[in-house]
């Protein structure tokens, strides 16, 4: 019996059906081991991680170990990326496999799976090291920086190697919006009646730039616009016909799929990837984590043949797209596995996503869309020695090309240019203006990021990789550093506080530094640099920065010398129970507390007498409960275990008794 281990249980039944008897297909259900939960799990000088089975991984490994015992040979078919390579290595190591066959396929079809099994390879240790490097770098930043950060600004706060730069983008955009000052400026639009009862009404816009004063960006004087709008006769200076072409968008990468799904289907990156995962596991699309915009030559040939049979205009030479700088993965763009299948997926989201992927794939091999463009330059009558000029531009689709199958590129969140049927005009002829109107414009603040535009910004700066975008967004939203307001990302006070505390003190907040680290991970994957060298560089940088950060933010306790930490709790819904003060990190051995004074420790707070112990027992540890009360600002009234901080059980007060306690 041969054993094939895949990642997802969703693939098992389908692949088992391809292979039949003599094979057993099992799933690892993703990662089976990880760094420990309550310990950093990695330390200098070699930075070798200490792994432990995950809670789910324990039972999975036990089941797989039993399957391995009865197998003649074992094949590892994890996903074709760094994460998949790392999962395969963890299985090899944990199950003590000897020379397992590593196979990959970018589509779950019988042909692809069987072809992969004919060409197994050894595990790629460089890819494993690159994934391990990402995990360790994230752990170093999270463990080394989060505690000092929390101590400095209060509450439980976290820093992240890619999470924090992403948060910085949102915070800086929020502040740009806050600082924005609106400018009202003016333009003029002339409207012309139908010409010879053939051409419907058309428009021309005033070219106001020549009327601006030194340093002016906009026309601010409305009276000038009013005089120009009163123009009723204009002369044609020129009329030119040209042609423009629009190429189809490239097939989807992970990033562009998330952007298009957000704009067109209103799906979050997380929901998009979940739906794409299900489509992939069901065999409908190729692997959905990729930064390549190109598809295989075999698939291109099939797509072009399908388009010809549909009588669509196929481009003469198969299209290829240039990958973005830093593109790393070898798999092709996201496409249907069977282009002739028009509908796939179980849910509405899956069906809509599949349709979007399919149409974009088809469009990629069709001819350009061709537009006829007519541009007319008009001149008005003299106004105080100056002749205002106007431009009328119209565009008409003459050959739809790829637009036969899709209207626009869904990754662009904008409107199509409106038609303006400018007639054929002769230079020197005079035209009568049907009407003129002053158009009032107001400058707009830069828009808040949406999930789609933040993914685009991260990709453009080289922050993160295809597999990480959804997790980055989930982190900053889940930690309350950013909130969603009508699909836009708004920074919270906590998010701003985190960025302010880190900015200028830690290099991982700098976009260029973060990109360089991503490049270092790519270099590890390609065998151009070593894992330990990259880890040591980051660790050394963090140690130096942490020393300076703590020197600037740590106040020693005057009683014992240990660092003071800010302790913040927001008021409850009833407005009670909130507090903000500084306490010694040596508590309970050192109970010193100090008032908060603008983010710094202030005067010493009076030591309160410990509340008397009651006869009510803590249901968790059996120690007596104590009734804790305080009047005035930050008032509270509750019952807590006398074993605090080791036991944190609390109860609401119910007329002088702990509610629900014995």
| Residue tagged active-site, from 287, 354, 469, 531 | 287
Residue 634: its pLDDT value, please? 64
pLDDT band per the 50, 70, 90 thresholds, residue 408: confident
Domains of the chain: 2-123 (3.40.50.140), 142-178+448-553 (1.10.460.10), 184-247+369-442 (2.70.20.10), 254-363 (1.10.290.10), 564-658 (no CATH)
Model pTM score: 0.82
The mean pLDDT value for 332-355 works out to 96
- Judging by beta carbons within 10 Å of its beta carbon (0-12, 13-18, 19+), is residue 563 exposed, middle or buried? middle
Q: How confident is the model at residue 413 (pLDDT cuts 50, 70, 90)?
A: low
Q: Model confidence at 646, in pLDDT bands (50, 70, 90)?
A: confident
Active site residue 143: no
- Using only C-alpha atoms, the chain has a radius of gyration, in whole angstroms, of 32
Quick one: CA dihedral 154, 155, 156, 159, positive or negative?
negative
User: Rounded to whole angstroms, how far apart are CA atoms 33 and 318?
Assistant: 44
pLDDT, one tens digit per residue, over 419-476 is 888 999 999 999 999 999 999 999 999 999 999 999 999 999 989 888 889 999 999 9
Cα dihedral across residues 504, 505, 508, 513: positive or negative: positive
Which residues is 397 bridged to in the sheet? 371
The residues, any chain, with a CB within 8 Å of residue 187's CB and separated by 6 or more, are 205, 206, 208, 219, 225, 438, 439, 441
Compute the half-sphere exposure of residue 594: CA atoms within 13 Å on the CB side of its CA.
Answer: 23
Q: Is the pLDDT of residue 329 over 70?
A: no
Where are any strands of DSSP class E within 120-232?
Answer: 184-192, 202-206
Q: What is the pLDDT of residue 466?
A: 81
pLDDT of residue 385: 87
Q: Quick: pLDDT tens for 230-276.
A: 999 999 999 999 999 999 999 999 999 999 999 999 999 999 999 99
In 3-state terms, what secondary structure has residue 239? strand
Of 490, 471, 470, give the one whose Cα is nearest residue 480: 490
- Alpha carbon distance 641, 624 (integer Å): 6
Rounded distance between C-alpha atoms, residue 228 and residue 220, angstroms? 14
Residue 76 structure tokens: 């590892």
Residue 608: band (very low, low, confident or very high) from pLDDT cuts 50, 70, 90: low
pLDDT of residue 575: 57
Interval 85-101: pLDDT, tens: 999 999 999 999 999 99
112-121, 134-143, 199-208: which has the minimum mean pLDDT? 199-208
pLDDT digits (tens, 9 = 90+) for 266-320: 999 999 999 999 999 999 999 999 989 999 999 999 999 999 999 999 999 999 9
Element (H, E) at 576: none
Nearest CA to 102 out of 330, 87, 528 is that of 87
Tally Cβ neighbours within 10 Å of residue 503. 14
Given a cut of 80, is residue 610 above it in pLDDT? no
Q: What is the pLDDT of residues 171-220, one digit of tens each?
A: 999 999 999 999 999 999 999 986 666 567 899 999 999 899 888 999 99
pLDDT (0 to 100) of residue 579: 74
Residue 655: per-residue pLDDT: 85
d(CA 361, CA 238): 41
Average pLDDT along the chain: 91
297-309 helix and 348-363 helix, angle to the nearest 10 degrees: 90
Query: What per-residue confidence (pLDDT) applies to 326?
Result: 54
Does residue 104 sit in helix, strand or coil?
coil
Place of tokens 């930064």: 291
Distance (Å) of CA 241 to CA 193, 371, 374: 21, 11, 5
Concatenate the DSSP letters of all residues of 296-357 into one string: -HHHHHHHHHHHHHTT--B-SS----PPPTT----S--B-BSSTT-----SSHHHHHHHHHH
Q: pLDDT tier at 108 (50, 70, 90 boundaries)? A: very high
What percentage of the chain carries pLDDT values higher than 70?
A: 95
Of 495, 598, 535, 426, the residue nearest 48 (C-alpha): 535
Instruction: Identify the bridge partners of residue 236 per DSSP, sorted by sequence position.
Output: 378
Q: What is the pLDDT of residue 637?
A: 86
pLDDT band at 53 (very low <50, low <70, confident <90, very high): very high
């Amino acid at each position: 019996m041969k054993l094939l281990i895949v990642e997802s249980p969703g693939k098992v039944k389908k692949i088992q059906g391809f292979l039949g008897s003599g094979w057993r297909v099992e799933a690892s259900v993703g990662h089976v081991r990880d760094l420990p939960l309550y310990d950093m799990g990695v330390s200098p000088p070699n930075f070798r991680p200490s792994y432990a089975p995950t809670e789910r991984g324990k039972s999975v490994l036990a089941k797989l170990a039993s399957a391995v015992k009865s197998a003649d040979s074992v094949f590892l078919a994890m996903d074709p990326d760094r994460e998949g390579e790392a999962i395969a290595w963890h299985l090899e190591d944990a199950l003590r496999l000897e020379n397992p066959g590593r196979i990959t396929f970018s589509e779950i079809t019988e042909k692809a799976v069987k072809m992969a099994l004919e060409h197994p390879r050894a595990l790629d240790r460089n890819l494993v090291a690159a994934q391990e490097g990402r995990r360790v770098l994230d752990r170093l930043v999270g463990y080394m920086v989060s505690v000092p950060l929390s101590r400095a600004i209060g509450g439980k706060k976290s820093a992240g190697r890619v999470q924090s730069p992403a948060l910085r983008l949102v915070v800086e955009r929020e502040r740009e919006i806050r600082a924005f000052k609106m400018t009202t400026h003016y333009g003029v639009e002339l409207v012309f009646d139908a010409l010879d009862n053939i051409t419907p009404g058309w428009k021309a816009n005033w070219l106001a730039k020549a009327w601006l004063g030194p340093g002016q960006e906009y026309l601010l004087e409305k009276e000038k616009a009013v005089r120009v709008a009163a123009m009723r006769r204009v002369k044609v200076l020129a009329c030119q016909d040209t042609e423009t072409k629009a190429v189809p968008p490239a097939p989807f990468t992970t990033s562009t799929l998330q952007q298009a799904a957000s704009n067109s289907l209103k799906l979050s990156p997380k929901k998009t990837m979940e739906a794409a995962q299900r489509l992939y596991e069901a065999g409908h699309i190729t692997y959905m984590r990729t930064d390549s915009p190109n598809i295989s030559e075999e698939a291109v040939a099939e797509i072009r043949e399908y388009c010809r049979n549909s009588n669509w205009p196929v481009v003469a030479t198969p299209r290829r797209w240039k990958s973005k700088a830093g593109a790393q993965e070898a798999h092709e763009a996201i496409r249907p596995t069977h282009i002739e299948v028009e509908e796939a997926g179980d849910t509405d989201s899956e069906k809509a996503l599949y349709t979007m992927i399919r149409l974009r794939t088809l469009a990629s091999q069709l001819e350009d869309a061709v537009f006829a463009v007519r541009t007319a330059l008009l001149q008005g009558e003299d106004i105080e020695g100056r002749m205002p000029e106007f431009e009328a531009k119209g565009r008409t689709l003459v050959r739809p090309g790829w637009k036969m199958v899709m209207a626009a590129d869904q990754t662009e969140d904008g409107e199509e240019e409106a038609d303006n049927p400018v007639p054929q005009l002769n230079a020197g002829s005079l035209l009568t203006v049907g009407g003129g109107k002053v158009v009032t414009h107001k400058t707009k603040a830069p828009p808040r990021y949406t999930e789609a535009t933040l993914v685009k910004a991260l990709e453009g700066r080289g922050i993160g990789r295809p597999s990480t975008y959804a997790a980055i967004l989930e982190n900053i939203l889940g930690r309350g550093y950013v909130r969603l307001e009508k699909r836009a990302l708004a920074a919270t006070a906590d998010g701003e506080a985190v960025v302010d505390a880190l900015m200028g003190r830690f290099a991982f907040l700098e976009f260029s530094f973060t990109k360089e680290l991503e490049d270092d991970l790519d270099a590890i994957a390609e065998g151009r640099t070593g894992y330990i060298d990259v880890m040591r560089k980051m660790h050394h940088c963090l140690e130096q920065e942490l020393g300076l950060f703590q020197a600037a933010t740590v106040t020693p306790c005057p009683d014992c010398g240990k660092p003071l930490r800010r302790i913040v709790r927001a008021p409850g819904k009833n407005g009670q129970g909130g507090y903000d003060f500084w306490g010694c990190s040596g508590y309970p051995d050192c109970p010193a507390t100090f008032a908060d004074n603008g983010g710094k420790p202030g005067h010493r707070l009076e030591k309160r007498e410990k509340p008397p112990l009651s006869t009510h027992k803590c249901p968790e540890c059996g120690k007596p409960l104590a009734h804790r009360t305080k009047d005035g600002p930050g008032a509270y009234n509750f019952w807590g275990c006398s074993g605090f901080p080791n036991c944190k059980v609390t109860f609401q007060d119910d007329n002088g008794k702990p509610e629900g306690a014995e």
